[in-house]
């Protein structure tokens, strides 16, 4: 009887440990999304859309309703504290490099849901999948 109780306790402990490991892995995930997936997320969730390029790049062309937080700015770490960690964040840059680095920083800072636009704005700029605005 003692062995049976011990085995049951051990199985329960293992299942808790495994479920915690899987949950922390899920929480640490950054999801790479296509423009179509991004548009669906924008349409269905209350999302923060962040362009991490320079202000000059942002002025030239950007996704409608995005805000600019320059990844290379010396105030970047302070700037991201203005975002809501509980709301999903979609990041994009020109080609995907800066947004990938930024996504890691956001996850390390405790953001719950982070999406990264695959290929950046340059991949989708001339498609009809996302709404783009540019300076004439």
Catalytic residues: 93
Under a CB-based contact definition with an 8 Å cutoff, are residues 118 and 34 in contact?
A: yes
Under a CB-based contact definition with an 8 Å cutoff, are residues 87 and 114 in contact?
A: no
Question: Smallest Cα–Cα separation from 33: which of 23, 24, 20, 42?
Answer: 42
- The span from the CA of 34 to the CA of 87, in Å, is 19
Q: Residue 40 corresponds to which tokens in the numbers above?
A: 């669906």
SS3 at position 90? strand
Q: 59 vs 31, 68, 83, 92, CA distance in Å?
A: 26, 9, 21, 14
């Amino acid at each position: 009887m003692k062995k049976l109780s011990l085995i049951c306790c051990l199985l329960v402990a293992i299942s808790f440990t495994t479920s915690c490991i899987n949950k922390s892995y899920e929480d640490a995930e950054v999801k790479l999304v296509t423009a179509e997936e991004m548009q669906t997320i924008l349409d269905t969730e209350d999302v923060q859309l962040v362009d991490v390029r320079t202000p000059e790049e942002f002025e030239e062309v950007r996704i409608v309703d995005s805000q600019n937080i320059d990844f290379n700015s010396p105030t970047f770490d302070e700037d991201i504290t203005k975002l809501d960690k509980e709301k999903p964040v979609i990041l994009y840059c020109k080609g995907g490099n800066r947004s990938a680095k930024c996504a890691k920083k956001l996850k390390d800072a405790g953001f719950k849901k982070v999406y990264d636009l695959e290929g950046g704005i340059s991949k989708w700029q001339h498609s009809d999948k996302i709404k783009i605005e540019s300076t004439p």
